[in-house]
């Protein structure tokens, strides 16, 4: 089974930047939407950004103008560039692929293991 492997989280000061990466451990037959979600302590998981196969993007209002999502279809990788970080961006960030492993298999959601992002004030 294909797994998603995230990297790039860490601790930075407010105003700083981080770049998250999420790569598939194997190959997919097709990947539709790639996205990033986050979950802060005591809160529900929320969509941060998503990108379609034709690179159309969608962002949460709270991150518009600060975060940029991009994808490398050849490498089955999605990125999240996070600038002007704020303490309220502190959360565990999860990548998500809506994908199909094989032509004959149903499309389903795949999740990364999560990476901690902590922003100090």
Over residues 91-108, the pLDDT tens digits come to 999 999 999 999 999 999
What is the distance between the alpha carbons of residues 121 and 113, in angstroms, rounded to a whole number? Answer: 26
Mind listing the pLDDT tens digit for each residue in 45-103?
A: 999 999 999 999 999 999 999 999 999 999 999 999 999 999 999 999 999 999 999 99
CA distance 61 to 83: 15
Tokens of 98: 């809506």
Paired tokens of 44: 């529900």
DSSP state of 85: -
**Residue 52 pLDDT:** 96
């Amino acid at each position: 089974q294909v797994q998603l492997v995230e990297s790039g989280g860490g601790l930075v000061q407010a105003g700083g930047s981080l770049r998250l990466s999420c790569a598939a451990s194997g190959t997919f037959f097709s990947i539709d939407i790639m996205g990033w979600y986050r979950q802060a302590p005591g809160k529900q998981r929320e969509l941060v950004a998503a990108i379609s196969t034709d690179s159309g993007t969608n962002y949460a209002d709270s991150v518009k103008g600060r975060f940029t999502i991009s994808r490398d279809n050849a490498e089955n990788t999605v990125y999240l560039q996070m600038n002007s970080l704020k303490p309220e961006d502190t959360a565990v960030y999860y990548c998500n692929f809506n994908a199909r492993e094989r032509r004959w298999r149903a499309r389903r959601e795949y999740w990364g293991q999560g990476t901690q992002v902590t922003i100090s004030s």
